[in-house]
Amino acid sequence: MDKFKFDPGGFMICKSRRFMFVVIAKNASTSLKRLVHSLDYPGQEPLFDTEAIHEFFGYSLDGKTRIPLIINERPATHEYTRFAVYRDPVERFLSVYNDKVSPARSAGKAVRKYFASCGVIDSDIDTFLCFTENELQKSDPLLQDEHLRPQSSFYEPENVDWVVPIESLDSFLMKHLDIDTGSRYNKSGQTTHLTEAQLNILNTLYKDDYDILKAENFYKP
């Protein structure tokens, strides 16, 4: 599996509006990248294709548009508003399953090569849940698929000014950054039914993610 490189996360910078967000798969990161592109590169055509926007900004912490979370040595970024988007772990897991694995996923959707190589494309929820358990047993989070990797492994609440629940992202951007997104981020809720046993497994796997809810800087509109 060494040929697969997973996104390391880190901060993505919007220089024109002086904010940074932690790149976390399935936490509005694609939409936020499109927002940064529209703000920092206003003369370019919008990048609606998902792969195109990811390729544009790249996957490495190059010190330009993507930087590591430890930025105390970078005083120029201290004036930036720093935030991470939080998503309910069960909802995030179901979003991954429904979007990238489920037999009922959107036709024509690009197949995630790593999932395909592991034989989980078109699998049922139990099979994918078992795969997730095995994935999260890897000791190094950077070797875990970023769509399944716990949110808590991407950052610590003290790395950011705000932890923003995804359903409040629009209001946060308007209130703190004067950015009107047209309510593009308030998509939540998954229809796949989970049993109590499946929920218990997910609650255990993502226990540290739920602890983020206790952070003093958790945004409440």
- Residue by residue, DSSP assigns 76-145 as GGTTSEEEEEE--HHHHHHHHIIIII-TTSPTTPPPPHHHHHTT-TT--HHHHHHHHHHHTTSSSGGGS-
Domain for residue 116, yes or no?
A: yes
Domain for residue 221, yes or no?
A: no
Domain total in the chain:
1
Mean pLDDT of successive 10-residue stretches along the chain, which has 221 residues:
69 94 95 95 90 89 80 61 96 94 80 93 96 97 96 95 96 94 63 89 98 97 86
Domain assignment of residue 140, given as a range: 11-214
Domain for residue 181, yes or no?
A: yes
Domain for residue 180, yes or no?
A: yes
Domain for residue 69, yes or no?
A: yes
Q: How far apart are CA 56 and CA 144, in angstroms?
A: 23
pTM: 0.91
Contact 41, 31 (CB under 8 A): no
Domain for residue 123, yes or no?
A: yes
Instruction: Render pLDDT for 133-161 as a digit per residue (tens, 0 to 9).
Output: 999 999 999 999 999 999 999 999 999 99
Domain for residue 113, yes or no?
A: yes
Domain for residue 1, yes or no?
A: no
